[in-house]
């Protein structure tokens, strides 16, 4: 489901508009919380890393096949910053765990998963 950009009450996340100050505030606010997740060994600020095998938005719009599931572990040697990568807080892990390993029937409690989004008090 996509947010209607004409709806003034809908949430609109413009991650590309984040600046270094925003990222450092988020990293400082969440660092201790993130470091207490299993396998987390550090945090940093940078740009979102995209797997080199993932198609670009233009390729997807042209009908390129989506990557197979489950996708491979994202590492520095198989991912890259692209021109549309947005600024982000990077969470470094010693051992990548799939989403299926969290929650009911998984190895880890769902609360131990690294969150996909960090929410700041000022929105």
DSSP-based helix, strand, coil % in the chain, nearest 5: 25, 15, 55
pLDDT digit string, tens, across residues 30-56 = 999 999 998 999 999 999 999 999 999
Q: In the chain, what are the domain boundaries?
A: 15-112
Question: What's the pTM value of the predicted model, to 2 decimals?
Answer: 0.78
Q: Are 117 and 74 in contact (CB under 8 A)?
A: no
pLDDT digit string, tens, across residues 24-36 = 999 999 999 999 9
């Amino acid at each position: 489901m996509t947010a209607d950009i004409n709806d003034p009450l809908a949430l609109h996340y413009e991650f590309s508009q984040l600046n270094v100050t925003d990222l450092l505030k988020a990293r400082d606010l969440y660092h201790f919380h993130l470091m207490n997740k299993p396998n987390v060994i550090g945090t940093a600020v940078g740009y979102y890393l995209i797997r080199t095998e993932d198609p670009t938005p233009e390729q997807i719009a042209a009908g390129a096949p989506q990557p197979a599931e489950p996708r491979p572990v994202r590492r520095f040697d198989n991912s890259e910053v692209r021109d549309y990568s947005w600024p982000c807080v990077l969470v470094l892990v010693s051992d990548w765990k799939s989403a299926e390993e969290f929650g009911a029937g998984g190895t880890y409690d769902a609360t131990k998963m690294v969150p996909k989004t960090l929410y700041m008090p000022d929105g």
